[in-house]
Amino acid sequence: MAAKRNTVTTQIPETPPEGTSLALDTRLSRHVESVIPKKRQEALKWYGWGYNDSQFYGQQGIICFKGDKYPLSGCELPSFTNWVKSKFNLDLDAKRTYPQLPETYPKPVQNAPFLNELRGCTKVEHSQEGVDRLVRSHGQTLNDIYSLWHNKFERIPDLVVWPRCHDEVVQLVRLAHKHNVMLLPFGGGTSVSGAVTCPQKEERMICVLDTSQMNRMLWLNRENLTVCFESGIVGQDLERVLREQGLTVGHEPDSYEFSTLGGWVATRASGMKKNVYGNIEDLVVRVRMVTPSGTLERECSAPRVSCGPDFNHIILGSEGTLGVITEVVLKVRPVPPVQRYGSLVFPDFEQGVLFMREVARRRCQPASVRLMDNEQFLFGQALKPEKSWLASCLDAIKQRYVTVWKGIDLTHICAATLLFEGEQKDVQRQEALIYEIAARYKGFPAGGQNGERGYLFTFVIAYIRDFALHQGIVAESFETSVPWDRCSLLCRCVKQRVVSECARHNILHYTISARVTQTYDAGACIYFYFGFRYLNIPDPVEVFEAIEHCAREEILACGGSLSHHHGVGKIRSHWYRNAVTETGSALYSAAKQHLDPRNIFAAGNLLPAQEKLKKPAEAAAAATTPTAATAALKAKL
């Protein structure tokens, strides 16, 4: 007798399926009360990042932070104020106001047969209210936010739907395919690649499929340490539910508070603790995706199968272009009994990179180890709240210790933050080994408090972009992955390229910095942070994107990847064909044609529209003239 299929199901079985353990606990299946309400604008900013009550602001010439969810809440930041003034030659303008919701919205395109069948044959909740459509018209790119602030969106979605389970998604996809309505899957709206930005040239009715009401934990198998969640669950909700059971997934991207499980899968996300728990592709056991041609999923939940190409990997990284991810089976781990932070200081970035390389070579990485360059180190120090007289004296003593006794130049110093997790003895053993390796590269411990602050401030830093824009500064991050032998060189070349492009655009006040955030056997992930103050620049975002385009060309010329974990989206689609070859792009197109023959998932991600294949003239001109740094690299290679 054939064994029954071990299915991922929307309907919860009364008894465990054949072949599974009694540890499969379906009694835990429940809807999760999310920190983000269905009307997301009630808790989150419609015009930028994060919670409504959390924000940097200016008061009496000092930058402050308000809100009650972060370590900086309620703090005055005089050092950060001075850093901003010196870096951007900027005095705070407290009179500037933030944008207000528009009074009118673009009129929705109507598809009467689709709407009639939606209302008559399904129970799916939906809305055509302007504000519901607006807040789901964008992600978190600089272009998205700048367009919101200046009311530049000519096209926003025409309808928002909230399916509650896999079966309702099946209904919606069938209806959209039948009536030729475009579907745009929407999770947390945290994309920084333009992946969820509403296509401005789409003529069909655009229906945003908001997965936020699909956030149940469907089952938990304690014996196998696997769990099944619906795709709309937000990262912090997922972890909270699991920790109530003494378990964790351990996936913490920078967007963890607001991004969703489905979004992690759709973009091939990576988390800060991937050294212990893995990237999302390492955590996924099975995934279910609804397409116009049917539901795509793997039959078996075995830990590994050799059964031709793995269709999980068709879904991973598909960026909403093939279908809607509805359910995901994940690996989980017991919550570690010990969590300890640490930090290291190195005399310069190159020594820090050598340390990171040796740690990766020996495969002894802690849960998180991240190296910041001198510019980011100084920025992080500036973010410290105002201290008492005694604390300031202690800081002065520490600085003297570093500069005089250790002989480190503060204009080159860099630092690494560490997070250890595991059993007490294992953590102690790992700490000793990490500090021993650091000493070989002139590094020394700088305390657990600095490490914890650096790790947790990751979630606060995201709020700076909107405050900067409010003060006339455009800023954004971009990332890549690169082999170890080109890591330091790539950082130098990209920084030099940005500096030269700023000079070409007569930009005097800017910042460009880098950090190494994830390590692998063969290479590392590098984040760049770039921002400039715009004076007498009519369209600062266009200039920013032109400079970033040049930086990306430099990254690729140095052997870096198109993206490590942000994905391709729309803003990097220009390079996708070259990244995967013509054969690879044709293979993707064939899969797209089979799964979505009417192109109802027309987000415009990965492969660009025909009119986008040509580079912007300015960026193209710059790209044809490689810098000396690139020329030197090519000569070396």
Provide the CA 288 distance to its chain's centre, in angstroms. Answer: 22
- d(CA 417, CA 370) in angstroms, rounded, equals 5
3-state SS string over 138-205? CCCCHHHHHHHHCCCCCCCCCEEEECCCHHHHHHHHHHHHHHCCEEEEECCCCCCCCCCCCCCCCCCC
List, in sequence order, every beta strand (DSSP E) within 403-464. 414-422, 444-445
Has 321 been labeled as part of a binding site? yes
Has 137 been labeled as part of a binding site? no
- d(CA 532, CA 87) in angstroms, rounded, equals 9
Q: Is 57 a catalytic residue?
A: no
Has 257 been labeled as part of a binding site? yes
CB atoms within 10 A of CB 53: 12
Has 292 been labeled as part of a binding site? no
Q: At residue 340, what are phi and psi to the nearest 5 degrees?
A: -135, 135
Has 291 been labeled as part of a binding site? no
Has 187 been labeled as part of a binding site? yes
Instruction: Please list the residues that pair with 478 across neighbouring strands.
Output: 528
Has 193 been labeled as part of a binding site? no
Pairing of strands 284-291, 247-248: unpaired
Has 324 been labeled as part of a binding site? yes
- d(CA 538, CA 519) in angstroms, rounded, equals 40
Instruction: Please list the residues that pair with 372 across neighbouring strands.
Output: 415, 515
CA angle 175, 179, 181 (to 5 degrees): 85
Has 73 been labeled as part of a binding site? no
Q: Which amino acid is at 611?
A: E
Long-range contacts of 492-497 (CB under 8 A, 24+ apart): 492/629, 493/554, 493/557, 493/558, 493/627, 493/629, 493/630, 493/633, 494/528, 494/551, 494/554, 494/555, 494/558, 495/528, 496/627, 496/628, 496/629, 497/550, 497/551, 497/554, 497/627, 497/629, 497/630
Give the CA-trace dihedral at 279, 284, 290, 292, to 10 degrees.
Answer: 60
Has 319 been labeled as part of a binding site? yes
Has 194 been labeled as part of a binding site? no
Has 541 been labeled as part of a binding site? no
Has 54 been labeled as part of a binding site? no
Instruction: Please list the residues that pair with 78 across neighbouring strands.
Output: none
Has 268 been labeled as part of a binding site? yes
Catalytic residue among 455, 510, 527, 534: 527
Q: Which amino acid is at 149?
A: W
Has 254 been labeled as part of a binding site? yes
Q: Which of 252, 256, 243, 249 is nearest to 285 (CA)?
A: 249
Close Cβ partners of 236 (under 8 Å, ≥ 6 residues apart)? 35, 256, 257
- d(CA 370, CA 454) in angstroms, rounded, equals 9
Has 258 been labeled as part of a binding site? yes
Has 256 been labeled as part of a binding site? yes
- d(CA 547, CA 500) in angstroms, rounded, equals 10
Has 411 been labeled as part of a binding site? no
CB atoms within 10 A of CB 429: 14
Has 563 been labeled as part of a binding site? no
Q: How far is CA 328 from CA 52, 229, 637, in A?
A: 30, 6, 43
Has 238 been labeled as part of a binding site? no
Q: Which residues make up each annotated binding site?
A: 185-191, 254-260, 267-270, 319-325, 465
Active site members: 527
Q: Which residues make up each annotated binding site for FAD?
A: 185-191, 254-260, 267-270, 319-325
Q: Which residues make up each annotated binding site for substrate?
A: 465
